[in-house]
Amino acid sequence: MDRSGMLGGLITLAPEPLYNWYADRTEVWNFTLMEDQQSAGLVMWVLASFDYLPAGLAVIGFWLNRLRSNPQSGLHLTLPNGAKY
């Protein structure tokens, strides 16, 4: 996990408000201070995970292309100890 994802997770899961000076500004959105903090943390957390989306799609595309070119091979998982599933 990258730094912004970790920071987003910490902000989202914090047990108490981290920025008390911000308390009077949350009423504009009709949020409590904790709801505002948690939603901001979720935005950071989710958007940070989009960095991995292209790589994940490339891996899935590679697997599907390999399966299409050789249907008998199937998708097999080989564990570090050499066992195949």
For 25-76, write each residue's pLDDT tens digit. 778 888 889 999 999 899 988 887 787 888 889 999 888 887 777 766 666 6
Q: Is the pLDDT of residue 13 over 90?
A: yes
Whether the pTM exceeds 0.75: the reply is: no
Cα 19 to Cα 11, 44, 51, 55: the distances in Å are: 10, 16, 27, 35
Provide the pLDDT for residue 57.
92
Provide the pLDDT for residue 85.
55
Q: How far apart are CA 47 and CA 2, in angstroms?
A: 11
Q: How far apart are CA 19 and CA 76, in angstroms?
A: 49
Which of these, 46, 40, 44, 43, lies nearest to 18 by C-alpha position?
40
